[in-house]
Amino acid sequence: MSRRSPPYGLVLAVGSVCFLAGAFLVPRDLFVGTLLAKEHASPRSVSERAHPLTGHELGTIALFEQVSPSVVFIMTSHRKPGDGLAGGTVFDAAPIEGSPMDGPLDEFEWDSGSGFVWDDRGHVVTNYHVVRDAVDLTVRLPDLSDWPGRLVGIDEDKDLAVLHVEAPAALLNPIVVGRSAPLRVGQRAYSIGNPFGLSSTLTEGIISAVGRTIRSGTGAGRIIQDVIQTDAAINPGNSGGPLLDSAGRLIGVTTAMVSDAGGSAGIGFAIPVDTVNRIVPDLINHGRPRRAGLGVRVQTEVDRRIDGVMIAYVLPGSAAERSGLRGSMNPETLRFGLGDVITGIEGRPVRTFDDLYGLLDTHRPGDRVDVTYRRKGKLHTTTIDLQVLPPEGREEEEGAGETP
């Protein structure tokens, strides 16, 4: 029931407090006395008993204490661009002894990122863009000891890199590796890293989406599939750090964020751990990923009239040559014609190079796949044992730059 205000101008007195149109009017002496009493009042007592933590809080604390010893701080130095403008974060500490920086300090700029310990042999995983073009790498372990980092292997297309430090095994705490395939939208996600150079920072959110496809900002700008989207805050400096599930297991490597102002906007992306777990052993053992492919070069210019990907050139001795595929250039006559047009892999349609790359990227060298192609208007299918693509086969060439 609402209280009706008295008629305008009518004052009802109740003791020393008056109500006027529903407002409180306090006598001046009483008001001043109250203020003086508060000014001289003793401090409020503080409860000595700690507030009991919730189960969720206890789980988050345990997760951080479990995983943070596996997360490292990566400091890099780069030569300044020719215009002399610095673009990195300047640290107070000078480079460690033995640094390859052979010029005055004002010729270099410093930046930082995140990473995590992969094994007790000293391998550290991070993003390729964190260490790209670095002339000096320093890995700071959770005990605050600094170690020179040696670049072991890179995958520009997946924005992944592996470093090695000569730290004793007692200081190395390998991260627990999980799986990304079973992830579901809505489950908790946690990021640990060094945003803006602030070490050992934990942020929490959820998995906002799975199965995203983004384009790598390094290498040839290839697509990265099955990327995890999260609203856990990811800022500059988080790159290369781990994305975790509620059990503290690695589910992804934070690699990118969407932002208009350079800060977190609640949309971050992580390379799925299933991809990481497939590539990192190759980087450790071979320095490069062992890509599975057909051994062909394809047309880079898209012709909308061609529903598929036209083969420009079949590499000699390749799996494609053994299967009888033909390119638009005849290696014997050096004349150009119409090459075979790949339209499907394992029954799944191929319309663009991204389609072809994405389907082959899910396979390993030695896998046998059915390739559907069109030749002179007729569809054919052949079976091909995928080969390891040579590193030089991934470089672009004029007119036929992509090599699946």
Q: Please give the positions annotated as active site.
A: 129, 159, 239
CB-based contact 118:176 (threshold 8 Å): no
CB-based contact 189:244 (threshold 8 Å): yes
Q: Which residue has the tokens 């730290």?
A: 167
In sequence order, the β-bridge partners of residue 124 are 117, 163
CB-based contact 275:224 (threshold 8 Å): yes
CB-based contact 23:3 (threshold 8 Å): no
> For the chain, how far is it from start to end, CA to CA, in angstroms?
76
**Residue 73: both structure tokens together:** 């701080």
CA distance 230 to 269: 6
CB-based contact 241:191 (threshold 8 Å): yes
Report the amino acid identity of residue 385.
D
Distances (CA, A) of 164 to 13, 143, 156, 336: 83, 17, 18, 48
Quickly count: other Cβ atoms within 10 Å of residue 402's Cβ. Answer: 21
Q: Backbone phi, then psi, for 60, in 5-degree steps?
A: -65, -40
SS (H, E, C) 294-354: CCEEECCCCCCCCCCEEEEEECCCCHHHHHCCCCCECCCCCCECCCCEEEEECCEECCCHH
Length of the chain: 404
Closest CA to 290 of 158, 124, 401, 384: 158
Integer Rg of the chain from CA? 31
